[in-house]
Chain A
């Protein structure tokens, strides 16, 4: 009985301590990218690649087209190998939201999950093979009362070029 009480007390105390330890700014904003499945392109053609991102709970990031010049947009930069080109990048529209810090000014933001589509093309003379596409997603996050400096996360997926 005494041992059980001790364990219970320890658990309760630990939970209480955790609650107290969460101070503003302690939780860093996170944006993560889901793994991209197998991408295959036929030489001379193109394909669309969906990149799924998730913004950590309690945070939002500016959309690609924020509503003011002073805001830092979310930007995806891809650096494909010579055998591939990025023909287009399609960003989702931002969600228009008002926050406690901007009750009269709605901001265009991404929160939760969002997807960016990249259209990749392989020239007709592209050599067959597997190629890495690397890049980065740059974003600037805020929570309900403050903002964090802009950050970048790496983006990477593999593309297989096959003959016509």
Chain B
């Protein structure tokens, strides 16, 4: 009798699993891949210290208090090109509300070529030169585009692996914009332990 009950429970679990898988596959067919939220949602975004196209250094922690759209892309990636004009529009539309779009170029090429590409695409947001370290810190980012939505406290609210629709991107932006900045809750991430904690910059101070 007990065995029958166990079998029943396992079967119910299996059916629920299949339903979930079916929903996933259906959504994937209609809209592209699902977001991989399970392993990163609610996690402190690793800090980084990356070069900009004009040779400055930028840390993620510089933007504490801002909502950050962190987009990993590459010049050889056609789907990334689709998103770039949307990000430009979002930066224009929501920049005043505290949105910062950061593009992390994962090209294995020289900065001037990336700069030329970004210029041709009309990019109006900051482009950073990606490294293996930042890729590893964010879960070995190999699938481009991949976008992390980071709230004002540096917490990853969502992750989008692959190309998503403009509407979905805008919805995710709205999710990070509604977050309120709580300086006391901001934690030190693994990466920012390795690189010494960044002093508060003008960006962070302006947001306070």
Which residue numbers of A lie inside 8 Å of B, CB to CB? 2, 5-6, 9-10, 12-13, 15-17, 19-20, 23-25, 28, 70-72, 99-102, 105, 107, 140, 142-150
Contacts and interface: CB of A to CB of B under 8 A. Distances in A.
A13 B161 contact: no
Contacts of B6: 6
Given A2-B4, A145-B162, A101 B24 contact: no
Contacts, number: 118
Given A20-B21, A71-B78, A147-B78, A25 B4 contact: no
Given A12-B18, A100-B32, A100-B163, A19 B79 contact: no
Nearest to B135: A149
B200 interface: no
Given A19-B18, A24-B161, A147 B33 contact: no
9 contacts: A5-B4, A5-B11, A10-B10, A25-B33, A102-B79, A145-B163, A146-B33, A146-B79, A147-B74
Given A13-B17, A19-B18, A24 B24 contact: no
Contacts of A12: 11, 14-15, 18
Contacts of B76: 70-72, 140, 147, 150
- B interface, how many residues as a size bin? 35 or more
Given A9-B14, A102-B78, A149-B106, A23 B21 contact: no
A16 B106 CA distance: 35
Given A9-B7, A25-B143, A146-B143, A19 B25 contact: yes
Contacts of B13: 13
A20 B24 contact: yes
Contacts of A107: 78
